[in-house]
Amino acid sequence: MKFAVIVFPGSNCDRDMYHAAKEVLGEEADLVWYQNSNLEDYDAILLPGGFSYGDYLRSGAVAATSNVMNQVREHAEKGKPVLGVCNGFQVLTESGLLPGALMRNKNLSFMCHQEELVVENNETMFTTDYEKGEIVRFPIAHGEGNYFCDEETLAELKANNQIVFTYKNNPNGSALDIAGIINKEGNVLGMMPHPERAVETLLGSDDGVRLFESVIKNWRQTYVTNA
């Protein structure tokens, strides 16, 4: 499987994503500068955390208008996996690939620590290696991770089982404790906690490994087994 890690000006978790895909999982991976508008050779797209364009206007707002996001959108429309983490989640909401928005944390402070998450949906291509209701530990590192959407959208997320992860102890004020959601088609996941920083026990948790392994297994079943 071949991963593209999109690098925007201000990205700072791109190397973590690359390390997880390439060095921990042993898959092919490239760091792809945002001005590269050709993603046809990649099987999965990873949008890393950081401060794209210095969080100018709103976090992820400028990156969402870049040409590479047109390619990401086409990639998603083909049913291929797209994972946006932290700033990557913000880019996905700003670009309309996921509903809602990420606002300032309720305490108006940047937070960086481990958080316990609940796996709410283990039937997505990103979570089949987890158990429903399982508690996992991923680090967070954000100042604008407070997930918000209107009541109608919130009802749709619940009805369609699009809430993938919730916080056990909501640190930022997110509606319904939401830590990660997926699109209706099930191939675009956005989340604020960092699974790529939870791939080695030395760092406090390796619970993130199974997220990447889920993607790889489900991709192979779909695109290799059926080829």
Q: Which domains does the chain have, with CATH numbers?
A: 2-224 (3.40.50.880)
Express each pLDDT in 161-202 by its tens digit.
999 999 999 999 999 999 999 999 999 999 999 999 999 999
pLDDT at 26 over 70: yes
Exactly one of 19, 75, 142, 194 is catalytic; name it: 194
Which is it for strands 188-191 and 178-182: parallel, antiparallel or unpaired?
Answer: antiparallel
CA nearest neighbour of 174 among 147, 136, 208, 140: 147
pLDDT at 223 over 90: no
Which is it for strands 163-167 and 178-182: parallel, antiparallel or unpaired?
Answer: antiparallel
Average pLDDT over residues 48-65: 94
pLDDT at 224 over 80: no
What's the pLDDT band for 227 if we cut at 50, 70, 90? low
Q: Is 86 annotated as catalytic?
A: yes
Express each pLDDT in 99-150 by its tens digit.
999 999 999 999 999 999 999 999 999 999 999 999 999 999 999 999 999 9
pLDDT value of position 33: 96
Which distant-in-sequence residues (6+ apart) come within 8 Å of 130 by Cβ?
A: 119, 122, 136, 210, 211, 214
Express each pLDDT in 69-102 by its tens digit.
999 999 999 999 999 999 999 999 999 999 999 9
Cβ atoms of residues 82 and 189 within 8 Å: yes
Q: Considering Cα of 68, then 74, then 78, then 84, what sign does the dihedral take?
A: positive
pLDDT value of position 226: 61
Q: Is 196 annotated as catalytic?
A: yes
**Gap between the Cα atoms of 90 and 50, Å rounded:** 10
Exactly one of 86, 94, 115, 142 is catalytic; name it: 86
Exactly one of 27, 94, 120, 196 is catalytic; name it: 196
Cβ atoms of residues 31 and 57 within 8 Å: no
pTM of the model as a whole: 0.96
**Gap between the Cα atoms of 168 and 97, Å rounded:** 26
Q: Is 112 annotated as catalytic?
A: no
Q: What is the DSSP letter of 222?
A: I
